[in-house]
């Protein structure tokens, strides 16, 4: 029987979803590539601080949109209301087909790789597939159980990171690296290498907007969503800066430079070979939280699209527990396809362009909505407007330009992916 009073997502669960979506593979892999061109400890930490400020500016902007347009669906809902239903559909098309399924697969395969450092004989596909299926089963069965699981695994993730930071500061042998704002550091802050590295940092911070996809299931969303977005993003910013400080404080730049498994290398440096293997296992466990959050958030976009477009109506179906199980199974099927075929890395390369494009359009929509509908009730207004959204737009525009300039082929494929969404949109409108 349908529940008379559906379980609503609390502030704590919402913050857990944001934190879990953000803290994934990026923070454990990016630093090694940043060190190739940046050698100042101050500049390297400022990368993560600036990236966090930009993410906070995005969260402030999304907070106002979520309060003014309180409905699940994220960018799909906002862009449909602000610009045109076709723009919203294309955003939902990208998110539904690539935006959540591919990063979920990436996190699952990273989990398998780190777990392999603890159990070398483990089949590479067994654990990623099993974890995705198990988490889908939990989230498809009960919203309350899924919310509790999300809070639990995210709490474990945060506690492990805090413990690693604290213990690392105590046992580390300090490296000869200056964290003072020297002349060299200032020069590196203004260098092209710093700007390029911000692209990778922005990937590590992606996911700060995760809670808006389930707005309709959040308790008092107009009041609580801004708090969820800002608290979750600020918490991750603090963790990222502290974690990267420990990496740099404990491990030489020569060992980290150009390496992807930064967490494993730092863990080995701090705690020996056995400790490094343990760190690999812990990182694998932490990624369960990321996979869980993406499995929860992504299907809500497809659900809202199904509510609006008759051809997709079956995907809007809710279970007696109020869960979009069919949309969730669709995303899980795509995730497993990416895991098995291992082609998701190419997908992520070109998907990065279109995902940045739609985030840019959404924050720009804050200005458009204020201009077109000044009388629209806004229970929350973006702090620092118009400076904060403009700062976000400036960095996003630079990132888009860099991707187009440096990755023209992937950018073209990304645009083709967007244009391909016009076909099902046109068919759905005809049927409507």
Per-residue pLDDT reduced to its tens digit, 22-36: 887 678 777 888 888
Provide mean pLDDT across the span 59-67. Answer: 88
CA 348 to chain CA centroid, Å, is: 13
**What is the pTM for the complete model shown?**
0.79
Provide mean pLDDT across the span 358-383. Answer: 91
Instruction: Report the Cα–Cα distance between both ends of the chain, in Å, rounded.
Output: 31
Provide mean pLDDT across the span 66-85. Answer: 86
pLDDT band, residue 7 (cuts 50/70/90): low
What phi, psi does 9 have (nearest 5°)?
Answer: -70, 125
What pLDDT, on the 0 to 100 scale, is given for residue 351?
64
Please, which residues have CB within 8 angstroms of residue 133's CB and are 6 or more apart in sequence? 332, 336
Residue 143: pLDDT above 80? no
Per-residue pLDDT reduced to its tens digit, 291-331: 888 888 888 878 888 887 777 788 888 888 788 889 899 98
* Nearest CA among 399, 392, 398, 397 for reference residue 58: 392
Which domains does the chain carry? Answer: 13-378+387-430 (1.20.1740.10)
Averaged confidence pLDDT in the chain: 83
Whether 294 and 279 have beta carbons less than 8 Å apart is answered as no
Per-residue pLDDT reduced to its tens digit, 165-195: 998 899 888 888 888 888 888 888 888 778 7
* Nearest CA among 179, 160, 215, 225 for reference residue 28: 160
CA distance 19 to 240: 11
CA distance 66 to 214: 10
CA distance 299 to 308: 15
Please, which residues have CB within 8 angstroms of residue 43's CB and are 6 or more apart in sequence? 185, 188, 189, 194
For residues 24-48, one letter each, b for 16 or more C-beta atoms within 10 angstroms of the residue's C-beta and e for the rest, the string is bbbbbbbbbbbbeebbbbbbbbbbb
What pLDDT, on the 0 to 100 scale, is given for residue 3?
44
CA distance 380 to 15: 18
Residue 80: pLDDT above 70? yes
Task: Name which of 110-114, 186-190, 213-217, 226-230 the model is least confident about.
Answer: 213-217
The residue with greater pLDDT, 116 or 53, is: 53
pLDDT band, residue 348 (cuts 50/70/90): low
Provide mean pLDDT across the span 69-97. Answer: 85
CA distance 60 to 66: 10
- Please provide the DSSP assignment of 143-208 as one string: HHHHHHHHHHHHHHHHHHHHHHHHHHHHH----S---S--HHHHHHHTSHHHHHHHHHHHHHHTTT
Q: What is the C-alpha radius of gyration for the chain, rounded to an integer number of angstroms? A: 21
| Degrees, nearest 5: CA angle 266-208-96 | 110
Please, which residues have CB within 8 angstroms of residue 63's CB and are 6 or more apart in sequence? 225, 226, 229, 230, 380, 382
CA distance 216 to 137: 22
Provide mean pLDDT across the span 220-239. Answer: 86
Whether 208 and 232 have beta carbons less than 8 Å apart is answered as yes
């Amino acid at each position: 029987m349908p529940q008379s009073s559906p379980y609503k997502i609390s502030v704590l669960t919402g913050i857990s979803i944001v934190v879990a979506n953000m803290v994934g593979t990026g923070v454990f892999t990016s630093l090694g590539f940043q060190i190739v061109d940046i050698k100042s400890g101050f500049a390297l930490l400022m990368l993560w601080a600036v990236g966090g400020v930009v993410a906070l500016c995005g969260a402030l902007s999304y907070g106002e949109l979520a309060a003014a347009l309180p409905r699940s669906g994220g960018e799909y809902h906002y862009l449909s209301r602000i610009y045109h239903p076709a723009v919203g559909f294309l955003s939902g098309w990208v998110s539904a087909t690539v935006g959540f399924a591919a990063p979920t697969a990436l996190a699952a395969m990273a989990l398998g790789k780190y777990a392999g450092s603890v159990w070398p004989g483990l089949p590479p596909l067994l654990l990623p597939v099993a974890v995705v299926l198990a988490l889908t089963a939990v989230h498809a069965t009960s919203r309350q159980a899924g919310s509790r699981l999300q809070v639990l695994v995210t709490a474990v993730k945060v506690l492990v990171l805090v413990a690693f930071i604290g213990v690392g500061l105590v046992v580390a042998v300090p490296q000869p690296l200056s964290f003072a704002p020297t002349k060299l550091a200032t020069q590196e802050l203004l260098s092209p290498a710093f700007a390029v590295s911000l692209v990778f940092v922005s990937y590590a911070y992606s996911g700060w907007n995760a809670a808006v996809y389930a707005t309709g299931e959040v308790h008092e969303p107009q009041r609580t969503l801004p708090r969820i977005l800002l608290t979750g993003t600020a918490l991750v910013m603090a963790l990222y800066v502290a974690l990267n400080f420990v990496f740099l404080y404990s491990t030489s730049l020569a060992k980290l430079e150009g390496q992807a498994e930064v967490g494993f290398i730092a863990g080995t440096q701090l705690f020996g070979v056995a400790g490094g293997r343990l760190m690999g296992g812990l990182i694998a466990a932490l990624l369960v939280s990321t996979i869980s959050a993406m499995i929860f958030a992504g299907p809500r976009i497809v659900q809202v699209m199904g509510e609006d477009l008759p051809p997709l109506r079956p995907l809007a179906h809710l279970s007696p527990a109020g869960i979009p199980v069919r949309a969730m199974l669709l995303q899980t099927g795509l995730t497993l396809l990416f895991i098995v075929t291992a082609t998701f890395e190419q997908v992520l390369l070109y998907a990065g362009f279109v995902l940045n494009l739609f985030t840019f359009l959404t924050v720009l929509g804050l200005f458009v909505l204020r201009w077109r509908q000044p009388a629209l009730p806004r229970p929350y207004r973006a702090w620092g407007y118009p400076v904060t959204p403009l700062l976000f737009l400036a960095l996003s525009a630079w990132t888009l330009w860099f991707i187009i300039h440096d990755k023209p082929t992937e950018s073209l494929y990304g645009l083709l992916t967007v244009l391909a969404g016009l076909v099902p949109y046109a068919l759905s409108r005809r049927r409507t």
